[in-house]
Amino acid sequence: MSNRVHIFDTTLRDGEQSPGAALNVDEKLEIARQLERLGVDIIEAGFPISSPGDFDAVQRIAKQVQNATVCGLTRAVRKDIDVAWDALKGAKRPRIHTGLGVSDNHLQHKLRKSRDEALEMGVSAVAYAKSLGCDDIEYFTEDAGRADPDYLCRVVEAVINAGATVINVPDTTGYATPEEYGAIFRMLLERVPNADKAIFSAHCHDDLGLAVANSLAAAKNGARQIECTINGIGERAGNTSLEEVVMALKTRRDYYGLETGINTREITRTSRLVSNRTGILVQPNKAIVGANAFAHSSGIHQDGVLKERTTYEIIDPADVGISESKIILSPRSGRAALKHRLEVLGHTFEDAAFEKVYERFLEVADRKKMVYDEDLEALATDEARLVNQTYELVQLQVTCGDSAIPTATVKLRHANRAVLMDADTGNGPVDAIYRAINRIVKVPNELIEISLQSVTEGTDAQAAVTIRVRAGDEVHSGHAAHTDIIVAAAKAYLNALNKQLLNQPGRITQPESERVGV
């Protein structure tokens, strides 16, 4: 058996199912291009029949991705398969991912079919996909972790005979333990007569915090594909974390004897991109990509690491794209120094965009005196947002206090260069700001979440604000960073509103004329 484990990334499908993580098509394309640089083998680009937006995203990713296989998810019905195959037409390496539940729980309560009926339906779906000309068909046996072993073996043998090339054995509910999950793969490889004609894949959820451990157990027992997401995002408690499972295989190759094709030096860059675009923050103590993953606060640890890095680090930070040294920039740093440090961190800008970053850098440096890598990441992320700005914050003034009515005055610039100003009061300064903005940007929405994170330590730290707004069935996230929390909150809200406006073409093309002329 080969020692090569294929990495199947489902950030754009299962990962996007995280509440509030909706991505627009351009953001999905940007992430797909970065996943190619990362070196994933398969990109599950979406569920084409679920919406026109998902179809468009899969279709555009299929046409642009050159090296990785592009996969579209379907139910085991012909209409789903037809739509997915249509979306994948432009792909160099297309894959249809179809399947059905195999546990009695799913058969009885979800599908309401007998074992034989579900088996026949699954075989028919695979055969139909093959008849369309698809040579790479993955079949998922949903809830395999709770399925009857004999029935699971029957299903796997039958769909391989029908043309399935990859068998996905998901622990859909995160119920299995590593010993149990590994044993399922061992059993299938031993008992299914035609098992050698397919690759077996692990797809785990983290409901019990065992997704990575279960995936590694599966690989140890013969799985040669692992399905995962960047930062472990996904349904409920999330999916197997790509960065964790890849670095576990690399760091402990002495134990697993397995390898992947991942360019691990792109891991941190990919993690930050996904976090910034989805608005889902990475917890500081998360393995591999957390802010504290390579930080040492204890004096004893610091002394040891300074003498010999491996005393407390089993992974070289450079292997995951993190520089060991930090250049601290100050107001006296010029453009060349800033540009060099941004490039080291993986950010490049055209001249005009760089000037905006430089102006923001000087503002931060004047307030903080010393600017850290985390500050630069926040600045770069703010300026590199994909969203075209229909409205831009020009000026903000807020008055508040324990005996004053919170009042905000905002001045915005529309994309047609018109400048608009309005004011309102609220329950607090942020509420007043958002009310004032709403008087200008008239798009109905509901603020459902706002979170604040300090980019660095200290009272002069930048504040990174992430918000989510709901407009009908859609949720849009906004993100901004600034040394002034109030300004960051205003910019984050505008970021979300600009995304909402992008999804409503023609909704607001001109501001109200009576509000122009400030």
Backbone phi and psi for residue 458, each to the nearest 5 degrees, phi listed first = 105, 160
The answer to whether residues 28 and 62 touch, using CB atoms and an 8 Å cutoff, is: no
d(C-alpha 179, C-alpha 185), whole Å:
10
Question: How many other CB atoms sit within 10 Å of the CB of residue 151?
Answer: 18
DSSP secondary structure letters along 297-339: -SHHHHHHHHH-GGGT-SS-GGGGT--SS---B-TT--HHHHH
> What is the torsion angle, in degrees rounded to the nearest 10, for the CA atoms of residue 240, residue 243, residue 248 and residue 250?
140
Q: From 255, 185, 249, 250, select the one nearest 223 (Cα to Cα).
A: 185
- Look up residue 363 and give its DSSP letter: H
239 is in an annotated binding site: yes
CA-atom Rg of the chain in angstroms: 25
End-to-end alpha-carbon separation of the chain, Å? Answer: 71
Residue 184's contacts (CB-CB under 8 Å, 6 or more residues apart) are: 144, 145, 149, 152, 169, 176, 218
Judge whether 14 is annotated as a binding position: yes
Phi (first) and psi of residue 147, to 5 degrees? -90, 155
| Cα separation, 487 vs 433, whole angstroms | 9
Coil, strand or helix at 76: coil
Q: Which amino acid is at 455?
A: V
Tokens of 255: 């134990």
Q: Give which of 358, 370, 354 is closest to 455, Cα–Cα.
A: 370
Residue ranges at the known binding site for Mn(2+): 14, 203, 205, 239
Residue ranges at the known binding site: 14, 203, 205, 239
